[in-house]
Structure 1
Amino acid sequence: MKMNAWVVMVLFAMAVLAGTGCAAAANAPLKVAVAGNTTIEDGVYYTINGAMPTVKSTRYTAPIVLNRTLNIKYMIIKNGTVKYGIINHALTGNITNRTYPKLIFNQTPIIELENGTYYQIGNGNMTLYNGTIALTGNTILKYFKNSTNTTMMGIIKNTPAKLVNKVRISKVKVKKWYKKWYKRGGKWRYTWKYRWTYKQVKQAYQELQATA
């Protein structure tokens, strides 16, 4: 059976459109479900105020200068995998000409120090910085003033974590109304009174819990 030229052109156009749709789908940003039905693209979200990192938190776009004591909670989305963690940074000592590390996020947190700075991971050897340092797993990094003065300038601790659901039970002060009876004119009457009492309230929440 022969097809006319118009039918052939229509079939060809449909094939081209289908191929274009497949290519667009293949190149679309990967999205993953986080905290319910919300979907987000690959990236890093973090907070510095102790709050849980969510899709509404600050999205990482540039290195973070650790120029003060900070508690950073982060969420890394990469290739469909969600990683959580907590980074604590504390400045130590009263030091002049201090240098500050930079925190970089990739698939794992990375620390960049000034050239000439010394650092120590855990109780390991003092090492002269010569390249970025990945904070894999539970890591404690101490960094020291450059030159021969090895006075500690700060401590960085990375703690991998997981998201856990918890319930908090708290007491709330409330008014409890009741009928107050009294006799008037030979008849019993009542009025509404209240007294303060407490009731328990359950609140569901999420928090980051350190992993082993």
Structure 2
Amino acid sequence: MKMNVGVVMVLFAMAVLAGTACAATANGPLEVAVAGNTTIEDGVYYTINGAMPTVKSTRYTAPLVLNRTLNIKYMIIRNGTVKYGIITHTPTGNITNRTYPKLIFNQTPIIELENGTYYQIGNGNITLYSGPIALTGNTILKYFKNSTNTTMMGIIKNTPAKLVNRVKISKVKVKKWYRKWYRYRGKWRYRWRYYWTYRQVKQTYQELQATA
């Protein structure tokens, strides 16, 4: 059976385009599937204003300097797995000439301190800092350094969390309209009147809840 030359050329062009698309996907950024058909790149997203972290939040690109009281909510996406957590930093003491820890995100949050800093995890031993500290699970880290030129002291807490759905029921003030009937010149007529009442409104939202 003979095939039209034009048809052959169209099929050839489609095959080339399909191969190009496959190559672009193979060489492109790693993507993971999340809710529905949405795909997003591996990465870390965080907020410092108390809002829920989403893929539209600030994307982590460089170490964060913990230079004040902070409440950081984060979302780590790696190879199809999404992890949530909350990191709080509280500087303590009335200290001047302060230097600050740095927060790094990898598979887990990591803290970098200055050389010469002492730290304590939970109620463990006080240890001289010698390298990055991974905050795995529920972790409370206290740090302190006091020297001629540098002083820093504070508490860093990491709390793993999970995403939960919540329902909030609130009351909204609304107008309730009704007909007020009256008789005029032998005929029944009405006017629209209203009174104020309350209606329940159900709202769904998401928040982070600490895991055990």
- 1:20 deviates by 7.5
1:114 aligns with 114
Aligned residues: 197
Q: Which moved more, 1:53-62 or 1:85-94?
A: 85-94
Q: What do residues 36-91 of structure 1 show as CA deviations (whole Å, max 9, x unaligned)?
A: 44321010000011111111000000000000111111000111111110111111
SS in 2 for 1:136: coil
2:7 aligns with none
1:67 aligns with 67
1:52 aligns with 2:58: no
Distance 1:20 1:35, change over 3 A: closer
Q: Which moved more, 1:89-98 or 1:56-65?
A: 89-98
- 1:32 deviates by 1.9
Once residues 35 and 52 of structure 1 are traced to their aligned partners in structure 2, the CA distance between those partners, rounded to angstroms, is 16
- 1:137 deviates by 0.2
Contact 1:118 1:146 in 2 (8 A): no
Q: Which moved more, 1:130-139 or 1:152-161?
A: 152-161
- 1:35 deviates by 4.4
Q: Unmatched 5+ residue regions in structure 2?
A: 1-14
The Cα RMSD (Å) is 2.5
Mapping of residues 1-212 of structure 1, within 5 Å: 25-147=25-147, 153-212=153-212
Once residues 17 and 183 of structure 1 are traced to their aligned partners in structure 2, the CA distance between those partners, rounded to angstroms, is 79
TM-score normalised over the length of structure 1: 0.83
Once residues 184 and 22 of structure 1 are traced to their aligned partners in structure 2, the CA distance between those partners, rounded to angstroms, is 80
Identity of counterpart residues, as a percentage? Answer: 88
TM-score normalised over the length of structure 2: 0.83
- 1:114 deviates by 1.1
Q: What do residues 85-133 of structure 1 show as CA deviations (whole Å, max 9, x unaligned)?
A: 0111111111122221000000000000111111110111111111110
- 1:138 deviates by 0.3
Q: Unmatched 5+ residue regions in structure 1?
A: 1-14
Once residues 139 and 178 of structure 2 are traced to their aligned partners in structure 1, the CA distance between those partners, rounded to angstroms, is 59
